[in-house]
Amino acid sequence: MNDKTRKELIWIAGVLVVLIGAAIGNVIYISMHNDNLAQNVDAHPTYPSNATIIRVDATQWSWAFIYANGTESVDTFNVTVGKPVVLVVTSIKGAEQFAVIHDLSIPKLDVQLYAIPGQNNSLSFTPTVVGSYYFECVEYCGLDHYEMRGMMNVVA
Amino acid sequence: MFSFGSLFSLASIGLTGTNLNLLYISIILGIIGIVLFYFYFRIVPAKEYLHEEAEAAGYERSNEYVRDKLSDKPRELSWKIFLYDDSKSIGLRYIFTSILFLCIAGSFGVLMRVSLTEPSPTIIGPAQYNVLMTEHATLMIYMFVLGAALGLGFYLLPSHLKLKKDTMGVYTSFAYWIWLAGGLFILISRAALRWYFYPPLSLELTQVGGGEFAWLAVLGLELIFIGLMVASVSIIKIIAFDRSPDIKLNQMSLFTWSILFTVIMGVTSAPPLMVGLGMLFYDYFNPIFFITGTNTLLFTILFWFWGHPIVYMAVIPFFGIIYEILPKFTGSKVYSYNSGVWGLGLLLILSELVWGHHLLNSGLGIEWITFFTTMSFLVVIPSAITVFNFIATLWTAKSIRMTVPMLFVLNGIVDFIIGGITGVMQSFAPFNEQVHGTYWVTGHFHFIFIGITMGISFAAFYMLFPTFTGGRKYNVSLARWHFGLTALGSYIMAFAWSVGGFLGMPRAVAGYFGFFQGYQDASIIGGVIIGIAQVIFLYNIAVSWLKAPSTSTDNAFEQGNTGPTDSHSAELNKVPAVSGGK
């Protein structure tokens, strides 16, 4: 093995160590935080038993948040600080329109899940700081896609 | 009883309104297309023209004439390229068409930027914005990127491989025309689908959905794929069977390898989406595949099986070009030929296994997320090998000449490192959850597309400029301004996007929350600077072309710098660089 080949192999080994290390870290995170990643409800993901379950219906172009007691709010919703929240998201047909693919994202809380017609996706998160957080649709869904956004309030 | 009238009363089987018009227009377009192709291949005298030229030069067969007089010789831009059906002429067609579409799609991009000066749409309404967004992305990917990659392939391969035959010309010509027709279909469709074409949105044929003529874009994309398939098979045939027997596999230039890997990627990953588009088009008449809900995600899966490899097809050939340019201006060989080939080859294999990372938040399962995030880390290995190979070549060089193509290459390497790191960060599942669908992603791939795809295309264009123009030189100081402003604009734009996207600024929107305005305004400045730079580029081409020829058309870049035994190019490389060319 000449000097040149040795240098090349050292570089490749270095890259391998960094990347495989990062990949292992990522797998460990996924296995520990299953409930924070978007999953199909049909796969029966497990969530904290005291969680507030909020059903989210996406239409062209608004978000409807429906609580277990039947109260509904559009493009805004309230959650309680420190209490786990489970979002169950799907896409439904508006008047004269199609049920298309949307994507609910709350960037500052690391929450993102696709709203897919005929499929319920869910994840859970726990807000820890009181305040307002913006959420938005991040999958292009037609004319007024950009207006499909709002504020989530974390209240005490 | 069958009557001609009943053929057209399709309303009885549920086809009405838009669907019926759609069917009629498709049939008419199909017939016009067939007639045009008939004229082009039978009545338009391409073959006769070539045959006459061959006879005048004393050849009985035009194939032999192409081989001896045309195949690996430099070619300049003239109307003859539309009449000759040899690889080099078709390469020129692809290259100049891709530049045309770069200008069209680029101006759409600048318009999009300018329309975002205010948080609410002002100059351009959301309907127009969505069309511009779709056309910018689709035309850039399918017309500019594929055009530049295939064009440089068809143009450079005959000389790199010292072609002994050139017999697929008619098919390749067909591929070019059908690719161009597809691009024009997309251009006139005014579709607002984003380049994803996700149903059910693409099935919503209204102003508020995918656009009334979205189906035309679906047809156009299918045509582009047919063109890509034919061209890819033609290139594989050129490399595998037509190259000179003197050139063994391990003596092929690195650019040849990169193009080979690119077209293999094309033929292996496009077919699922071609089928998907066929199903999508069928859904316009009889919605059974994607509109019923249970398998909406199927199209996204078929799409990304192609959608990820295409973005690697946008860098691999340009890595090959970098390998060809480096020896010319560093005066030394590429550091490791083997690492170059293996790096690009591994990139081909691994990049076909990461496409699922575009669907991480779609609820496809924890196993899906685990597999595709892990593969996304591993795909960096061959990219890193390639970049280290570039850096090692520069490191061990005795001297580096800072010509315009070399500036583009160096900037491209830096851009790729930045874009690569911001890209691999998204492989972390939690980070992906935060930035997926935001401008972070836009910033990531614009670093790479502007630095590598567009920048290296410009580098190759400047290298070949004297050849294209029959020995004219470009204005070096204008070219340096072009480089400098493109680089500056792209850094400002992509950096502003990356920071904004990190905070959650969503992409593909015609309006935004007011608190993102700073990032949007910064990116507008960057985008406009890039636009001005391209105007300088076009002006430079125009004025330089009007001057008298002052240099030879012989070109080391065209002959291949990385083929180990290529003595001809080794001699050419010793010639000092002429200012403004080669």
Q: Read off the pLDDT of each residue in B522-527 and give the average, rounded to a whole number.
A: 94
Tokens of A124: 């859970």
- Give residue A134's pLDDT band: very low, low, confident or very high (50, 70, 90): very high
List of residues 6+ apart from B557 with CB closer than 8 A = B156, B324, B325, B328, B460, B463, B464, B582
CB contact under 8 A, A99 and B364: no
CB contact under 8 A, A37 and B433: yes
pLDDT tens track for B373-388: 999 999 999 999 999 9
B149 pLDDT above the threshold of 90: yes
B492 pLDDT above the threshold of 60: yes
- The shortest C-alpha distance from A117 to chain B (Å) reads 5
Q: Which residues of chain B make contact with A144, given a CB cutoff of 8 A?
A: 126, 208
Interface check for A103 against chain B (CB to CB < 8 A): the answer is: yes
pLDDT of residue B10: 46
Q: Which of B160, B261, B62, B86 is nearest to B566 (CA)?
A: B160
- Give residue B292's pLDDT band: very low, low, confident or very high (50, 70, 90): low
Residue A138, H or E segment: none
- Give residue B52's pLDDT band: very low, low, confident or very high (50, 70, 90): confident
Give residue B64's identity as a one-letter amino acid code.
E
- The shortest C-alpha distance from A44 to chain B (Å) reads 11
- The shortest C-alpha distance from B261 to chain A (Å) reads 21
CA B288 → CA A51, B273, B280, distances in Å?
38, 17, 9
pLDDT of residue A93: 87
Are B287 and B279 contacting, i.e. CB atoms less than 8 angstroms apart? no
B514 pLDDT above the threshold of 60: yes
B573 pLDDT above the threshold of 60: no
B45 pLDDT above the threshold of 80: no
Tell me B42's DSSP state: I
Burial (CB count <10 Å: 0-12, 13-18, 19+), residue B204: buried
pLDDT of residue B579: 45
- CA A33/CA B443 separation, integer angstroms: 28
- Residue B354's CB: how many other CB atoms inside 10 A? 22
Interface check for A17 against chain B (CB to CB < 8 A): the answer is: no
Give residue B401's identity as a one-letter amino acid code.
R
Angle between helices B476-502 and B517-546 (to 10 degrees): 160
- CA B322/CA B340 separation, integer angstroms: 11
Tokens of B516: 């993102």
pLDDT of residue B293: 58
Pick from A40-44, B14-18, B465-469, B562-566: least confident: B562-566
How open is the CA angle B280-B285-B287, to the nearest 5 degrees? 60
> B17-308 belongs to which CATH class?
mainly alpha
pLDDT of residue B164: 78
- Give residue B30's pLDDT band: very low, low, confident or very high (50, 70, 90): confident
pLDDT of residue B43: 61
pLDDT tens track for B294-326: 678 899 999 999 999 999 999 999 999 999 898
Of all residues in chain B, the one with the smallest CA distance to A99 is: B200
Could you tell me the sign of the dihedral formed by the alpha carbons of B156, B159, B162, B168, in that order?
A: positive
pLDDT of residue B576: 39
Q: Which residues of chain B make contact with A28, given a CB cutoff of 8 A?
A: none
Q: Read off the pLDDT of each residue in A123-132 and give the average, rounded to a whole number.
A: 94
- Give residue B18's pLDDT band: very low, low, confident or very high (50, 70, 90): low
Domain limits, chain A: 3-32, 38-155
B270 pLDDT above the threshold of 80: yes
Tokens of B299: 């199209």
Are B147 and B91 contacting, i.e. CB atoms less than 8 angstroms apart? no
Question: Which residues pair with residue A131 across a beta bridge?
Answer: A154
pLDDT of residue A89: 95
**Mean pLDDT score of chain B:** 86
Question: Which residues pair with residue B450 across a beta bridge?
Answer: none
- Give residue A112's pLDDT band: very low, low, confident or very high (50, 70, 90): very high
pLDDT of residue B509: 92
Order of strands across the sheet with A149-155? A76-80, A149-155, A131-137, A102-106, A111-115
Pick from A92-101, B193-202, B571-580: least confident: B571-580
B518 pLDDT above the threshold of 50: yes
CB contact under 8 A, A38 and B362: yes
- Give residue B275's pLDDT band: very low, low, confident or very high (50, 70, 90): very high
pLDDT of residue B3: 41
Interface check for A113 against chain B (CB to CB < 8 A): the answer is: yes
Note the ipTM here.
Answer: 0.94
- Give residue B108's pLDDT band: very low, low, confident or very high (50, 70, 90): very high
Of A100, A136, A143, the CB nearest to B200: A100
pLDDT of residue B169: 77
Q: Read off the pLDDT of each residue in B201-205 and give the average, rounded to a whole number.
A: 88
Of all residues in chain B, the one with the smallest CA distance to A19 is: B377
Q: Which residues of chain A make contact with B433, given a CB cutoff of 8 A?
A: 36-38, 110-112
Are B236 and B264 contacting, i.e. CB atoms less than 8 angstroms apart? yes
Tell me A117's DSSP state: B
DSSP 3-state assignment of B522? Answer: helix
Q: Which residues of chain B make contact with A147, given a CB cutoff of 8 A?
A: 511
pLDDT of residue B213: 86
Interface check for A93 against chain B (CB to CB < 8 A): the answer is: no
Q: Looking at the structure, give the CATH architecture of the domain made up of residues A38-155.
A: Sandwich (2.60)
- Give residue B485's pLDDT band: very low, low, confident or very high (50, 70, 90): very high
Pick from A43-52, A92-101, A104-113, B552-561: least confident: B552-561
